[in-house]
Structure 1
Amino acid sequence: MADWRVAGFVEQRELGRGGQGRVVLALHATSGDPVAIKYLTAGGPAAMAALRTEAQMLGRLTSPYIARLYRFVEHDRGAAIVMEAVDGASLKAVLAEHTALAPEAALLVLKGSLLGLAAAHDAGIVHRDYKPANVIVRADGLSKLIDFGIAVLAGEGSRSGTPAYMAPEQRRGEPAAPATDVYAATCVFAECVTGRRPVAGVVPTEDVPEPLRPLVSRGTAENPADRPDGAAAFVAELESAASAAYGADWEHRGLRALAAAAAVLAPLFPLAALLLPHAGTTAAASGGAAASGTAANASGAAGGAGTGAAGTAGGGAASGGAASGGAGAASGSGAGTGGGAATASGSGLGVGGKVAVAVAGAAVVAAAAGGTWYLADTGGDDPREPEAGRRATPVPVVKVAMAVQNGPAGSVVRVENGQYAKVSGLGDPALERRANAALRGPLDRIIATGRAFAASTDCQGQPVTAGTKAKIGMRGPRLVSVRYYQETDLCRQATGAPGGEVATVDLRTGRALTARDVFLPSTLTAQGVRTLRSRLKLLPIDDPFSEGCTESDVEPFKPSDFFPGNDPAVMGAKERPPYLSAFFTPGGFAVSFMTAGSSGCRLLDLGAPYAQVRDLLKPEVAALLPR
């Protein structure tokens, strides 16, 4: 019987075939965009149910750090997924080539993976199999997380996973939690900087650079309660440790180093070649099809070492679609003994193997000797499909980094630890300048306050120090939200401290949002703010001067608290920032309470899940937030 095919695509060639599925490269019939299609054609009701559950779970993930599933198609003869393309090589292949990475590059890998895991955690999903084979490093140095083949909803448990990176509670079969993924990600980070993978649950911390050892110790704590609350929380700790150890520009250096490491494998990235006439034989001869997972088994005459998300290239029969490498199994070990046919992400699809042909969120890939391609859905009834006849254009990858300013800011102000968020990759220089000016605004305003204070006060030759402590919440793709605690010593001629601000910037316009942009008009009434307050709970306190404060220390909300005032509490300030500001984080909604003065309980966050406040927000803002 002929194979069934997803309508609207023209198959170019088969990358591999197994007992339960096949992988093909295809072009969208009208736009000509390349896609990879993974078919599940056997496996029975259990396999289909597992696939459907996985697709439903991962289809709701949206993150630039996770390779996304765009379509899951069911048919009376099986199921299929269609995925988008990103050139890259697995972190496993990069480490095989280089053994270890520069600390800044390893930190960048960890940060990107944590941001991807944070998006999963926000959706209630725990990956459970984070490892180098499931991290793809692109040619520009950015990385994506793949293969959610054994992911579960938080609170579920089993002993599935890769032993070297499994958290102690995972080994015991206890319920999975975000801290489980934090442990695995930290293990991989340690491997990146030391060149040695964990053995028997022992992480090689002695070879980790000394400034980063506390980060590794915290991330791999035996008790999950002693680890960061989740991936998003760990990002803040990572950024602080990295900036302290390697300076404010550590990310830029890490990006260059990681791109250089991946560039060694760039000649093997096969996407461009596959789109040329007769390119199929070249790629096939190098290793066959690859799935999101382990490197290819080299037992084939020319088995590749690449990884990806559609069946791992490796040793096997030449009839599997590769001239001398066969088609391999999915992430995990190869299918059968001595190779096999291409399968899907997850363990091999041979007898007893886990069926996970449609890993929602794991990029579909064909690999040749270390190269990996990730192909995106561009066809059918998906609302994101490009118009017929128009090629899809690459979407800029927005990068959000923490920057730090230190040193003189003119003749009377000295900036000390002036933290601010900075975006890059917007593609429009003018837009990027506007966005960065808005994100830097709280630091610029406290510097201006210091100058104005010095102009009206005898500072006795002492500079006014000014700075900001920033915490990055949402990092795109549309909104970047950053909370700033502002600091100044007023040249030691006055007491008290400023409060702070939240800068939430729309990356489409480069403009900072105000309360009127965020909340419905009905919310910004006396009754509306009372309703909002009733749904919020005090969040963990990260200001040392506010420790011991309780919810009762936050005065009842008033509509005017959400707007600037003309009664600044700090001499030199032109106006008072809002006492209350919306702060969007990957894990939920917060209202930051920030007031000036000399007493405690000035800097507090109150929060709630987005579901509990969505009806109080403007629909156009609510649509941009995690669900």
Structure 2
Amino acid sequence: MTDWQVRGFKEVRELGRGGQGQVVLARHAKAGTPVAIKYLPAEADPDSRERFRHESQMLGRVTHPHVARLYRLVENDNGIAIVMEAVNGVPLTKVLAHHRTLQPEAALTVLKGSLLGLAAAHNAGVVHRDYKPANVIVPADGRSKLIDFGVAVYSGEGSQEGTPYYMAPEQWRGDPASPATDVYAATCVFYECITGQRPYPPGDRAAIRAGHLNTPVPIEHVPEKLRELVARGMAKDPTERPDSAEAFVAELENVANKAYGPTWETRGTRALAGGVVALAALFPLTAAGLASAGGSATTTASTGVIAALSTKAGIAVAGTAVATATVGGRVGVYQATRPEPVERPAAATVSPSPPSKRLNLGDFSITTPLTWRVTHIPGGLGGYRIHLPGRCMPDESRNELCPEIWVFGRRSIDPPVGAGFERYRPDYAWHPGTDPSHDCPPRPSLRAVSGERLLKNSFVQVGDRTAEYREWRMQCADTRLRPVNVFFVQRLWYLPTSRILIVDEWNTPNLTQILARAQWT
């Protein structure tokens, strides 16, 4: 097994091992819930650890039935591990290896589910960049799940990372990634499902690159009714593809309804489930005697994702929305903010909390990692800035843009007439004065934000008081206020009675739990 084990879980068997680490099937010691735990080797270098944290951070931003979801990331002196819920299923690679091709309705079902999962990632400002059959998991019910956010980036970032057979032209060039980048890869996989071969034949890296950059899309191998869909999704120019995964889903449904009738998805799901059941011997929980081939491991753990069963240790799981990122101190745990009922007993057995301190924020105080520090907000706004560990980046004015949380008081919430900025409005994303020079955390060279979209609206606790909680998807713009394909998520806690507003634009780890334990004076 592994050199060390996450406290509170008993390992059952190894699921995979590779350069990215080892994945084991385990059970919660008290609840018996099966989980997949991905371990990074203890001797891993700092860059590998950072990539591991980055993967959990990207995955933790996305909550959707078609996307693998995270329970927690645990880090201590022994190493680092991701804990995920495990259910039965196999990678799409195994399905294609067994059946070679899928029925058109089944292939469309896989594509639709994947696009819906990708759309959830895009709405959180994340581009997957490595959509491929190995990262699409098909459980026994035939509803595909997207896993492995190991090379995901914020929209607008670029490099040549990815899997060559499915990389969009802009990826090959190292241009900024956008939702259209994932649309291209998903269409490549759809092409493979429907034809039994990849769009561009195997060869060396240069030949594959040339195919994606210059060779026309070989739609002659695709059923005629689906050729336009494939041509659109694999357009060389990203501006000629559907501008979002959501838009492509609408096109897909229109084409599928016309070509195969209104019940195409029901037939596709059944066909896909039937094809997967033929591979039931490969289901990890079934092989371990923890579940039947057609069902979940427990009646309370019926949702989730599974492991990739090859040597690649890219297992993901389903769970709940999480706060993830680096944590100061010797031991850090990222806990699901809305854990499944069966996971609640884990609270008593998680790794110990890191060394902490109290930060006073006027009317209340919070317990934070030792690396966090607080200063007063300069100028007339009033309130506090909580400085977080992490690399500062110079913005366009050569100022330092650093990870931080803002805590605004009454002077910001109720500004006097003529103060030069608006008061807080619950129906609008907040920053002081909705200032057009507001920095964009993923890309500090972009100075403005526009195109706000409300992702979540609920109530949460800040100590013994109830805050209005919102998440806004923010689109960045250039200095001329022209929107670009770069996004980030702004999180807000607003206490209407106390007139306090807390703003987080850095996906700060464990902040929801930290605020829930606040103490009021």
TM-score by length of 1: 0.47
Q: Deviations over 1:554-575 (max 9, x none)?
A: xxxxxxxxxxxxxxxxxxxxxx
Cα–Cα, structure 1 residues 17 and 107, in superposed 2: closer, same or farther, change >3 Å? closer
Aligned pairs (5 A) from 1:20-99: 21-40=21-40, 41-99=42-100
Distance in 2 (alpha carbons) for counterparts of 1:100 and 1:616: 55
Contact 1:179 1:230 in 2 (8 A): yes
Q: Which is richer in strand?
A: 2
SS in 2 for 1:10: strand
Structure 2 counterpart of 1:206, which letter?
Answer: E
SS in 2 for 1:171: helix
SS in 1 for 2:4: coil
Q: State the shift of 1:117 in Å.
A: 0.5
Q: Which residue of 2 aligns with 1:386?
A: 341
SS in 2 for 1:248: coil
Q: Which residue of 1 aligns with 2:251?
A: 237
Distance in 1 (alpha carbons) for counterparts of 2:46 and 2:228: 48
Q: State the shift of 1:11 in Å.
A: 2.4
Q: State the shift of 1:237 in Å.
A: 0.9
Q: Which residue of 2 aligns with 1:180?
A: 181
Distance in 2 (alpha carbons) for counterparts of 1:388 and 1:225: 44
Distance in 1 (alpha carbons) for counterparts of 2:428 and 2:80: 47
- Considering only aligned residues, what root-mean-square deviation do their CA atoms show, in Å? 4.0
Matched, 1:215 2:229: yes
Distance in 2 (alpha carbons) for counterparts of 1:609 and 1:48: 23
SS in 1 for 2:162: coil
Q: Deviations over 1:482-538 (max 9, x none)?
A: xxxxxxxxxxxxxxxxxxxxxxxxxxxxxxxxxxxxxxxxxxxxx99x996999xxx
Q: Deviations over 1:56-78 (max 9, x none)?
A: 22212101101112110010121
Cα–Cα, structure 1 residues 388 and 165, in superposed 2: closer, same or farther, change >3 Å? closer
Gaps of 5+ in 2: 201-210, 292-304, 322-332, 347-421, 431-471, 476-486, 497-506, 508-521
Cα–Cα, structure 1 residues 534 and 230, in superposed 2: closer, same or farther, change >3 Å? closer
Structure 2 counterpart of 1:132, which letter?
Answer: P
Q: State the shift of 1:614 in Å.
A: 10
Q: Deviations over 1:436-487 (max 9, x none)?
A: xxxxxxxxxxxxxxxxxxxxxxxxxxxxxxxxxxxxxxxxxxxxxxxxxxxx
Matched, 1:246 2:260: yes
Structure 2 counterpart of 1:176, which letter?
Answer: A
SS in 2 for 1:156: coil
Structure 1 counterpart of 2:12, which letter?
Answer: Q
Structure 1 counterpart of 2:180, which letter?
Answer: A
Given candidates 275, 282, 288, the residue that maps to 1:268 is 282
Aligned pairs (5 A) from 1:330-345: 330=312, 344-345=313-314
Q: State the shift of 1:181 in Å.
A: 0.6
Q: State the shift of 1:142 in Å.
A: 0.7
SS in 2 for 1:30: coil
Structure 2 counterpart of 1:264, which letter?
Answer: A
Q: State the shift of 1:97 in Å.
A: 1.4
Q: State the shift of 1:109 in Å.
A: 0.6
Q: State the shift of 1:15 in Å.
A: 4.7
Gaps of 5+ in 1: 278-306, 314-327, 331-343, 346-361, 365-373, 392-526, 536-585, 590-607, 618-626
Cα–Cα, structure 1 residues 27 and 228, in superposed 2: closer, same or farther, change >3 Å? same
Aligned pairs (5 A) from 1:532-551: none
Cα–Cα, structure 1 residues 19 and 107, in superposed 2: closer, same or farther, change >3 Å? closer
Farther-moved stretch of structure 1 (46-55 vs 150-159):
46-55
Q: Which residue of 2 aligns with 1:12?
A: 12
The sequence identity of aligned pairs, in percent, is: 59
Q: Deviations over 1:51-106 (max 9, x none)?
A: 12222222121011011121100101211111112211211111111121111111
Aligned pairs (5 A) from 1:488-499: none
Q: State the shift of 1:128 in Å.
A: 1.0
Contact 1:30 1:389 in 2 (8 A): no
Distance in 2 (alpha carbons) for counterparts of 1:153 and 1:588: 12
Distance in 1 (alpha carbons) for counterparts of 2:44 and 2:99: 39
SS in 1 for 2:341: coil
Distance in 2 (alpha carbons) for counterparts of 1:205 and 1:19: 36
Q: Which residue of 2 aligns with 1:522?
A: none
Q: State the shift of 1:253 in Å.
A: 1.3
Distance in 1 (alpha carbons) for counterparts of 2:22 and 2:77: 16
Distance in 2 (alpha carbons) for counterparts of 1:534 and 1:134: 34
Higher relative contact order (CA 8 A, sep 6+): 2
Distance in 2 (alpha carbons) for counterparts of 1:20 and 1:610: 28
Aligned pairs (5 A) from 1:304-383: 309=307, 313=310, 328=311, 330=312, 344-345=313-314, 362-363=315-316, 382=336
Distance in 2 (alpha carbons) for counterparts of 1:104 and 1:613: 42
Structure 2 counterpart of 1:162, which letter?
Answer: T
Structure showing greater Rg: 1
Given candidates 215, 220, 224, the residue that maps to 1:206 is 220
Q: Which residue of 2 aligns with 1:224?
A: 238
Q: Which residue of 1 aligns with 2:161?
A: 160
TM-score by length of 2: 0.56
Q: Which residue of 2 aligns with 1:300?
A: none
